[in-house]
Amino acid sequence: MIEAALRLLEEGASVGALSIEGIARAAGVAKATVYRRWPGKDALMLDVLRSLEEPGPRPAGVSVRDDLVTILEFMRRRGLAKRNSALMRSILAQMHAHRELWRAYDENVIEVRRELLRSVLRRGVANGEIRADTDPELLADLFTGPMLSRAILHEWRELPEGLAERIVDTVLEGVSARG
């Protein structure tokens, strides 16, 4: 059913135009079969979106800097992949018009990744690599903002090798507990 929904989206159907009936028909199953697994279209679409996501890396936990680079490098590679995926760009653009679906995606995909980043930052504060007076939410935004800006808002800007390291080193220099 997920594959059927992806196929319909690839063929040009919009998220709004998709229906449980249409997806069931494309999958060759009864509508009731879809409803046994998902309570509605938004739940199914969330699983469709999850199917397009590759699992994020697990930081090694040795160095806060290296863990931050690992997380940002993953974002850089995802940004490059999304630029090459017309389907992913289309779905993400359409999702903003579907607030509940966007909220579910944010809570179930984006927030999980942000919590991983915040845990690395908390470890950096705890072990003295990052000043204790920093706001973890703002700091997470300072690390991810430049990558997201280039990957999503300014798709014409490069995402070169070494960008993750440059972002991490620049931000860490500003919030270093050592100085």
- pLDDT (tens place) for every residue of the chain, 179 residues total: 999 999 998 888 888 889 999 999 999 999 999 999 999 998 999 898 888 888 888 889 889 999 999 999 999 988 777 765 667 777 777 777 888 888 988 898 889 999 999 999 999 999 999 999 999 899 999 999 998 888 777 777 888 999 999 999 999 998 887 65
Q: Are residues 81 and 100 in the same domain?
A: yes
**Domain count within the chain:** 2
Distance CA 72, CA 98 (A): 28
Q: Are residues 70 and 37 in the same domain?
A: no
Q: Are residues 91 and 147 in the same domain?
A: yes
Distance CA 13, CA 145 (A): 31
Q: Are residues 104 and 139 in the same domain?
A: yes
Q: Are residues 78 and 163 in the same domain?
A: yes
Q: Are residues 124 and 37 in the same domain?
A: no
Q: Are residues 117 and 164 in the same domain?
A: yes
First to last CA, the chain: 55
Q: For residue 89, what are the domain limits?
A: 53-175
Handedness of CA 81, 85, 89, 95 (dihedral sign): negative
Q: Are residues 161 and 120 in the same domain?
A: yes
Closest CA to 112 of 151, 152, 168, 55: 55
